[in-house]
Amino acid sequence: MRSKREQAILDNIKEWESQLVEQEATDFQKMFDKWVHTTIAKLPEKKRKDFFTKADGWLFHLHALIQSSQSQLEARNRILGTSRLFDESIEQLEDLKALSIDQLTYIAEQQTARHRLYSFVQGGATGAGGLLLLTADFPVMIALNVKAVQLIATSFGHDVNKPYEMMLALKVFHASLLPGRLQQYAWYNLLQELEQEDSFFYEGDEAVLQPASTEIILKQILKTFSIYALRRKLFQGIPVIGMAIGSTVNYRLTRNVTEFANRFYQVRHIVEKEKRA
């Protein structure tokens, strides 16, 4: 039986889905999409496949590295500790699924609020720093946001050490980065994943990055170039404009990633609860 709160959350998500569907690409975006596809199509097929395969491999290794880190283990224990405020009998992640959707969302938002702050500070540091910090900005931002999605999945009672959960979390992460006009398709593909039976191993398409991912990289390059170009614009010796760009862009990115991931795991919680009923 679906609760009133679950129905209200689903209604809000349906409204958000409608907004995604209504988004139309501008003439510039259509030209940009055409240019990206044309440019990628000119690359030899083997090189194209090798690039995305290596990028996927890097993401998988990054996921495993983050998940095995001490900070992630501590975060997992914090999540379990917070969940026991609602139900003292909780002993493992699987037990979290018995909590209400509001309780799970609260636990997830406790984790994501911290990561939004990290992104804001990291972006400001990038804007204030030199070439080394600028170069490190992209991999650090990827790591921060992959970790944020992992924590949201964990907050809803899913063990991202399992191959299936790892792949699903990475696909959620990738979908959250896409522009709105493309995000709707990635969202519906993720919803299709929920129709599969629970599995330890992932049985779908294991490719994460797609040609559409190119826009994400180009936006990051534009941000880096903007910060680098404005590094000499100082106010009392501080590159205020560069810091503002870095912190704002990074904060918005993490906010978009965490909001998208939160919606997905809310829907998943409701769908799986109804399957168990």
Amino acid at 32: F
Model pLDDT, residue 224: 66
Tokens of 259: 């909001």
Residue in the block written with tokens 């050490």: 161
Taking the CA atoms of residue 242, residue 245, residue 250 and residue 253 in that order, the dihedral angle to the nearest 10 degrees is -160
Q: In 3-state terms, what secondary structure has residue 161?
A: coil
Q: Which residues pair with 235 in a beta bridge?
A: 238
How far is the CA of 164 from the CAs of 158, 203, 217, 224, in angstroms? 10, 8, 26, 34
Closest CA to 160 of 270, 31, 62: 62
Query: What does the pLDDT look like over 194-208, one tens digit per residue?
Result: 877 555 445 555 455
pLDDT tens-digit map of 63-98: 777 777 787 788 889 999 999 999 999 999 999 999
Phi, psi (rounded to 5 degrees) for 8: -65, -40
Q: Give, rounded to a whole angstrom, the gap between the first and last alpha carbons of the chain.
A: 8
* 209 vs 78, higher pLDDT: 78
Residue 258: pLDDT over 90: yes
Mean local confidence (pLDDT), 239-247: 75
**Which residue from 115, 63, 76, 90 is spatially nearest to 262, judged by alpha carbons?**
115
Strand partners, 238: 235
State percent of the chain over pLDDT 70. Answer: 69
Mapped to the 3 state alphabet, what secondary structure does 57-81 carry? HHHHHHHHHHHCCHHHHHHHHHHHH
Res 149: pLDDT? 94
